Amino acid sequence: MKACGEVKALQEAKTVHEHLIGSFSPLKISIYNRILETYLKCGSTDDAFDVFEKMPRRNLTSWDTMITGLARNGLGEDALDLFSQFKQAGLKPDAKMFLGVFYSCGVVGDINEGMLHFSLMSSDYGIVPSMEHYVGVVDMLGSTGNLDEALEFIEKMPFEASADVWETLMNLCRTHGHLELGDRCAELVKQLDPSRLNEQSKAGLIPLKESDLKKNEKKKLASQSPLEVRSRVNEYRAGDTSHPANDRIYALLRRLKEHMKEAGYVPETRFVLHDIDQESKEEALLAHSERLALANGLLTSPARGQIRIIKNLRVCGDCHAAFKIMSKIVGREIIMRDAKRFHHFNEGLCSCRDFW
């Protein structure tokens, strides 16, 4: 189950799940928790809910896993509803659960509720916030664009903020274009732990982790999107024309583009870095790996079936906007896991609410 979760292999996870139920019932709570974690990592929140509801018993880890997993799938409201059910059942949250709650509040953009939970941690449950909790609150505030509030929160901490705290704010500032504050944070990180700043962060960019670099080297730094089709995994690279159904894939993408423009889509050609004319830039956007994966998925999967895509890099803004519109045009749910998070596209909306 752990291996299935790591590679997002949903069908294989279901097969293992069936084998466990058939051969080893009744299952231990720890096994149920692993199954929950795997389904959530695969982006299948419906399967996770089904397992959770049918569990004969649950422990704190079961609730923790569901709350955090739902939030990381962009379902922050469901995660917070589950936390309310947890409290209504008379159960007491632990320190780890509040990390999932802060992340959920960041997903839904409700910083007031997040700060209320932070206050109740100590007043109602006697939990002294750790540095990890302060990082979680800064991430919640910063991810929703409340950077000044995040800075004020750090300045009021009862002890000196760690490099983790300042690094979190630094990256969020640069994500939201607040470069001056980002540079100030970088100076503080440098004072506390210079080893955390690589060449990207010193240059004012959002740094890549060493693990990300190794993954990208392994994948030859190409943008790839595996798409599961009938127990096969197809892999696509940006600009790829080697697929046997290449002509049909590009023809479908061009037809969809016309329908999308009628629905109000305007190609964001600033995501094309080549010095070419406008028409060529629009054509280049069609060749992004996630679009090739989606087009082949539409051609080869059952009508109205869910389409699941994994992307090794962060999805670009144009593809994100395009996927929202395409999900409504084709009447399909599209689940994409990029380097940052899950995106559930359905009926013209994305679960991330355009924060990613």
The per-residue pLDDT for range 268-286, each reduced to its tens digit, is: 877 665 666 777 788 888 8
Residue with tokens 């964001």: 268
Structure tokens at 246: 């290449």
Average pLDDT of every residue of the chain = 88
What percent of the chain is predicted at pLDDT more than 70? 89
Which pTM was predicted?
A: 0.72
How far is it, in rounded angstroms, from Cα 138 to Cα 181? 14
pLDDT in the model for residue 217: 46
- Beta strand pairing status for 342-346 and 334-337? antiparallel
How far is it, in rounded angstroms, from Cα 142 to Cα 155? 14
pLDDT over 80 (residue 227): no
How far is it, in rounded angstroms, from Cα 17 to Cα 1? 8
Element containing residue 348 per DSSP (H, E): none
Expressed in angstroms, the distance from the first to the final Cα of the chain is 27
How far is it, in rounded angstroms, from Cα 178 to Cα 35? 41
Phi/psi at 29 (nearest 5 deg)?
-60, -40
